[in-house]
Chains A and B, each alone.
Chain A
Amino acid sequence: MTKRNILLISYNWANHFSLALGYVKAYAMKDDFIRRSANIEILDFDTAGLNIQQVIYYLSQRRPDVIGFSCYCWNIEKVLDTARIAKTIYPTIQIVLGGPEVSPIGLKYLKEYPFLDAVIKGEGEITFAELLRCSLGQGSIQDVSGISYRIDDHVFENPDRPPIEDLSQIPSPYLEGILIPKDKVSYIETYRGCIFRCHYCFEGKNLPRLRFFPDERVRREIELFMNNPEIKTFHFVDTVFNFRKERLAKIADMLAAANRYGADLRTVEIIAEFVDEETVQLFKKANVRSIETGPQTVNEDTLKNVNRYYKAEQFRNGVRLLEEHGIEVTTDLIIGLPGDTFFKFVRSVRTILDMKPSTIIFSILHVLPGTVLYEKSDEFGLKFDDKAPHLVLSAPDFPFEDIDKAVIMAFSLDKEYNIKPLKA
């Protein structure tokens, strides 16, 4: 029997690669029928500078039967361009989208883009495998939970699929040899979900609680990474690396025990308010060199509006402790949150600059599908671009021209504050 060709494509930034597609393939390959019937190939492309024609040429050589795309607000435009052209040239290709950009608004995408066949809602591992079985001739699409799909000219939506309770069901793409760890662009995920429910964030939404990958598997992944002398730096994608001290201690022990070549961790997401002397020592033990944290804004009304946790004194203390111990702190501020104004944003900038973090990152609010701000945008008085990346256009006290000026000011300040002089 000739195996069918399945391509999983991700357009990424800065030579990163898709962990999500690694999971999707790893789970699908558990299935004997799929393994016997299909070849699944993951293609990671760099979004910047990518010419769609190159991808289409690749497709012309591979002639896939199914293409699955991993979709984010930053790559959806390229995904849609690729899918449209591919479907025009090869009408029998099935195009399946998944990922946070399309997942919450699958029906909308299917209605607007007739070249799409299905959109996966929520976590994709089990759903994609079931969909693939249908495509390979086993089962009916009507029975696959967690998808929106098209049959002829009609679009349908099946019931949601609950989150995967037991994450050990998903094999590790690293340990299975599906993803090969590379220096600077590799990540480990130890749990899914978030302890917070920030209204601008997609993470953790609709997920009732945290779910963990087995400790032993995490340990083996860490071992694999750190056994490779080429890997000098890697990351964790956990939403809050230090959400519980006991867990941080456990991970730090694993890292310290495995770290034979002096690899370090960079840009792990933490909550600065939870940082004390002991936490800093655990970070040092884990060889954390830089962390990223909020607070996104310091204004009380705005924090309340977006359900953001922020404790001014603890945050300041956390930043101070980390910087004093040589761990670089990157703080984030968002422009355009509901409740902020231009000068309230300046107040946030002032407060954060006063803490002297190593770096400040300014970003404009993306009103992302699936977030509370997206769903209740009318209630918040938010106007935003419906087209990805869904940039905010105005908030009740933050008109467009003020947001625009805040962005321009932030760019200038970013250049000045985050300057990287040549080494002394």
Chain B
Amino acid sequence: MHYADALRKPFAQALLRLRYSLIRYKKIFLGGPCNNNCLHCPPSYRNSTPTDFSTIEQALGQRDSDSIVLFGGEPTLRNDLLRIVADARSSGYRRIKIMTNGRALSNVHYLEQLIRAGCSLFEITLWGSNAGAHESLSRAPGSFWETITGLRNLAEVPYDKFICIRIPVCRETLGDLEQCVATALNLGAHRIILSMQDARLSILAAIPHISNGINISIFNRVWILTEGIPFCFMQGLEHHISEVYTGWETIYQRTYQKGRHCSECICQEICPGVDVLSAKKLGSGDILPVKAGRVFEDIKALYD
């Protein structure tokens, strides 16, 4: 049976949802343009309509969390970002995070302004360990060194800050993944996220590189997570599945579908399956259901 056939079969069991996220961020989509032109950027994020200031203010006014993440388009291109951050801070948000390509942070004065306004958590995307690899995907000449300079500035400014470096996993840079992790470590990351961003990439082919990346990071005492990879591919690496800590609804929206072997998997109640695009393009042959494992009872208990 082809994967597409399996998709048509209704999956009987409802998915248990994580009713928590370790730190729950209120997500505020800023929209607007980006100065990168990333090959794997989700279409909905690419040059989207900017969210108007009053809508953002309204969202900030609904205090259902003490943490926010500002994302979408490139937040640092907005003229009103400093004002948004300052308003969020004065509204009492303790953790204000931006997801950025980091280029604007190469201007240390701007970075200082941002931190002084109240933004102290940064999630920055690094496509590759060198200009060639990075810019082949960011498709913006000069973007690599700006991002690197931004990260260096961030590491050096004498304020309390949290630096997460997001490394997309895709066909073009798979061979560079370990080097990219090493680069992120040298840039002072407090956390690294390896995020599946390429529906045409076989997860099975990526896993050896991901596993190496995890080992390099842990060896260097920095926490590392994966995103968009179901349990069956992460057997033995379950500690690093970010969705175990945050749920499967991540900033980069993905649509998951169960595969034909999923009903044999002990994780079926807590795993949404594989990315639907990936499954359509590559089939579900790679999926090997999880049959046993000492950690799964404990993971399942997190959903209680």
Contact = CB atoms under 8 A, between A and B. Distances in A.
Interface of A: 341-344, 346-347, 349-350, 353-354, 356, 397, 402, 404-405, 408-409, 411-413, 415-417, 419-422, 424
A346 B161 CA distance: 23
Main secondary structure of the interface of A (DSSP, over half): helix
A412 B190 contact: yes
B223 A408 contact: yes
Contact of B20 (A350, A404, A411, A421): A350
Interface stretch (B116-124, B173-181, B256-264): B116-124
Contacts of B120: 419-422
B245 interface: yes
B299 A343 contact: yes
A391 B85 CA distance: 42
Nearest to A349: B22
Interface in B46-100: 66, 86, 89-90, 92, 94-96
B93 to A, nearest CB: 9
Interface of B: 20, 22-23, 66, 86, 89-90, 92, 94-96, 115-116, 118-121, 159-162, 190-191, 218, 221-223, 239, 244-245, 294-295, 298-299, 301-302
A419 to B, nearest CB: 5
B223 A419 contact: no
A419 B94 contact: yes
Contacts of A409: 223, 239
A168 to B, nearest CB: 46
A354 B295 contact: no
B89 A421 contact: yes
Given A408-B221, A408-B222, A416-B121, A344 B298 contact: yes
A343 B298 contact: yes
Contact of B223 (A353, A412, A422): A412
Contacts of B302: 343, 346-347, 350
Contacts of B119: 421
Contact of A342 (B89, B121, B223, B295): B295
B66 A356 contact: yes
Nearest to A358: B94
10 contacts: A342-B239, A343-B295, A343-B302, A346-B22, A397-B294, A416-B191, A417-B23, A419-B121, A421-B96, A421-B160
A408 B218 contact: yes
A421 B221 contact: no
Contacts of B22: 346, 349-350, 353, 413
Contact of A415 (B94, B190, B295, B298): B190
B223 A424 contact: no
B191 A424 contact: no
A422 B116 contact: yes
A63 B220 CA distance: 45
Contacts of B244: 343, 346
A355 B239 CA distance: 23
A349 B159 CA distance: 26
A194 B302 CA distance: 33
A414 to B, nearest CB: 9
Contacts of B20: 350, 353-354
A362 to B, nearest CB: 12
Contacts of A353: 20, 22-23
Contacts of A408: 218, 221-223
Contacts of B161: 419
Most buried by B among A419, A421, A422: A421
A341 B95 contact: no
Contacts of B299: 343
B66 A411 contact: no
Contacts of B298: 341-344, 347
A165 B53 CA distance: 69
Given A350-B22, A408-B218, A421-B94, A416 B118 contact: no
B118 A422 contact: yes
A416 B123 CA distance: 11
Nearest to B214: A405
Contacts of A421: 89, 94-96, 115, 118-120, 160
A416 B190 contact: yes
Nearest to A344: B298
A63 B65 CA distance: 61
Q: List the 3 shortest-distance A-B pairs measured between CB atoms, nearest first.
A: A343-B298, A412-B223, A421-B120
Given A405-B239, A422-B118, A341 B190 contact: no
A25 B301 CA distance: 54
A415 B66 contact: no
B174 to A, nearest CB: 24
Given A347-B301, A416-B190, A424 B239 contact: no
A409 B191 CA distance: 9
A344 B239 CA distance: 12
A341 B223 CA distance: 18
B80 to A, nearest CB: 18
A341 B299 CA distance: 10
Contacts of A344: 298, 301
A420 B161 CA distance: 8
Contacts of B94: 419, 421
B189 to A, nearest CB: 9
A419 B302 CA distance: 25
A424 B90 CA distance: 5
A344 B221 CA distance: 21
Most buried by B among A342, A344, A346, A411: A346
